[in-house]
Amino acid sequence: PTSIYEYYFTVGDDNYALRGTVPVHGPFAALASFSLHKVEYGETGNMTYESLGSVNGQYLVNDGDLSLLVDKNNIGSPSKGDIMD
């Protein structure tokens, strides 16, 4: 089974989603992939995703931890003190 983990956040006026796709838990979780998407919310609550590419990520099987690293240039170049929701 494939598990998809998503984390949504906002920088300035832009909405983003980080997605970790883990095809199989256990030793084959090494095949996990990680991506960044820009998200637009429609008036009826529907969402559209624009892929911004892959990001560095890691899924630690024994700990059940998922970590993702995003280059700030991919999310509007936030500066020190900028608010991220």
* Averaged pLDDT, 55-75: 84
* Averaged pLDDT, 48-64: 87
Question: Do residues 48 and 40 lie in contact, with contact meaning Cβ atoms separated by under 8 Å?
Answer: yes
Q: How many domains does the chain have?
A: 1
Please give the pLDDT value at position 37: 95
- Residue 84 falls inside a structural domain: no
Please give the pLDDT value at position 40: 95
* Averaged pLDDT, 79-85: 73
Domain carrying residue 54: 3-67
Question: Do residues 30 and 43 lie in contact, with contact meaning Cβ atoms separated by under 8 Å?
Answer: no
pLDDT digits (tens, 9 = 90+) for 11-40: 888 999 999 988 876 666 678 899 999 999
- Residue 79 falls inside a structural domain: no
Report the chain's mean pLDDT, rounded to a whole number: 85
- Residue 8 falls inside a structural domain: yes
